[in-house]
Structure 1
Amino acid sequence: MFRNGRSVILTAKLPSNTSEIIQKRSRYVKANMLLPNQPAPNFEGTAVVGTELRPISLSQFQGKYVLLVFYPLDFTFVCPTELIAFSERAAEFQSRECQVIACSTDSVYAHLAWTKLDRKAGGLGQMNIPLLSDKNLRISRAYEVLDEQEGHAFRSVDEAIRLLDAFIFFEKHGEVCPANWKPNSATIVPDPVASLSYFSSVH
């Protein structure tokens, strides 16, 4: 997720075999891998928007949040449940000035065919978010997701909205949000002394 060209890395609970995964993937780690607060790589491509094929780029959303959702493949099983969930709640992201974009390495024509397939048959149907094609693999490589082979743990739309709210709160108020934070919950002043009021209230 990113805004104004700055990236924000979303993290999830680490699996029990974390060290094994790290060792397995260490050969893929690059010195210039995407880190929080670094410029998000720009991208340009063609997306299915509604029933049309349109050019789309990161720069056209300057000043907004962008949630770029990478998924493995069209016409699969878990992916449509995730994408439909994001699509059905697109208005909630839009109200927070956030554009959700789904992206895979399928062709834009595969995306279009998937939207024409009825949801009862495993299709997407009408979508309220763009489906971006990364057929040349440039976007996936730029965002360091191309070599991911363990699947995606981050599948919750509620969690995406919660994290987005936390980012917005920090930008507006300058206070950081503790684990499992929700709107109207206590936050932390990022100061060694001022932060003690939070810790003393919860421990």
Structure 2
Amino acid sequence: MRSLIGKKAPRFTAPAVIKGSQIVNDFSLDQYLGDKYVIFFFYPMDFTFVCPTELHAFQEKLKDFEQRDVAVVGCSVDSEYSHFAWLNMDRNHGGIKGVTYPVVADFSKAIAENFGVLAADYEYDDDGNLYCEGNPVAYRGLFLIDKEGIVRHALINDLPLGRNVDEAIRVVDALQHYEKNGEVCPANWSKGKEAMKATEEGVSDYLSHH
């Protein structure tokens, strides 16, 4: 799989549920171009065990993302009707009621395929029959897309491994620090810590203080 880093994020138009209760048929990330950064994340399926913890975790940090001019958008291979039902199910019953950011329906699996996170391949056997090898759901992919539509960060976890939402915020901070100050962010950097100028002199100065 080729990395999307430094490239335009794959474009799509698909159904989505927005604001937790409204189905739209023509959702696209293009609406954020020139205006907002985007955290676009995939999860395997609705009505599962690990997935609601992640969707709620992004919701709980939504204000932190919004303060940084970041739109959060989720996506799975379920239909918009499945999303709608799950979004209207109470949290104590395994639902994600209260999630307000958009959740995209990738029922064709084309979006997951184009982002390189589909956990399956479709092949033809010797008799010309199409078959699926693997699990036809999305891995836990996460992509940070800048205001120009360029992918600047990508993280893909296997199905059992939930993500750290605070790490997504940290990476947003790192990108925005670089864009504002022209300084690169070293290992374990977090907002408020010292960064480095991308020159030999800047690196030496940073190392002399650590």
The TM-score normalised by the length of structure 2 is 0.77
Structure 2 residue aligned with 1:145: 117
- 1:86 equivalent in alignment to 2:69: no
Q: Are the counterparts in 2 of residues 34 and 143 from structure 1 also a CA contact under 8 Å?
A: no
The separation in 1 between residues aligned to 2:23 and 2:96, in whole angstroms, is: 16
- Partner residue, 1:125: 97
Matched, 1:48 2:17: yes
Per-residue deviation at 1:157?
Answer: 1.2
SS at match of 2:200: coil
In the aligned structure 2, how far is the partner of 1:192 from the partner of 1:176?
Answer: 12
8 Å contact kept, 1:166–1:177: yes
**Which of 1 and 2 has higher RCO (CA within 8 Å, sep 6+)?**
2
| Deviation larger for 163-172 or 144-153 | 144-153
- In structure 2, how many angstroms separate the alpha carbons of the residues matched to 1:162 and 1:152? 23
The unaligned stretches of length 5 or more in structure 1 are 1-28
| Cα distance in structure 2, aligned partners of 1:82 and 1:35 | 23
SS at 1:46's partner residue?
strand
Task: Indicate yes or no: 2:76 matched with 1:68.
Answer: no
**Conserved? CA contact 2:54–2:162, under 8 Å:** no
Runs ≥4 in structure 1, deviation > 6 angstroms?
none
* TM-score, structure 1 normalization: 0.80
| Offset, 1:87 | 1.2
**Bigger share in helix:** 1
**Contact (CA 8 Å) 2:4, 2:115: kept in 1 or not?**
no
Structure 2 counterpart of 1:162: 170
Q: Deviations over 1:86-139 (max 9, x none)?
A: 012212111111100000000010000001111001000121211100001111
Determine if contact 1:34/1:40 at 8 Å carries over to the other structure: no
Q: Of 189, 193, 200, which residue of structure 1 is paired with 2:201?
A: 193
- What is the identity, as a one-letter code, of the residue corresponding to 2:23? L
Count of residues in Structure 1 that have an aligned counterpart in Structure 2? 171
Per-residue CA deviation, residues 133-189 of structure 1 (Å, 9 max, x unaligned), is: 000111101100002483264611111111111110001111011111111101011
SS of the residue aligned with 1:194? helix
Decide which of 180, 197, 202 is 2:188's aligned counterpart.
180
Q: Which runs of 5+ in 2 are unaligned?
A: 120-138, 140-156
Q: What does residue range 3-22 of structure 1 map to in structure 2 within 5 Å?
A: none
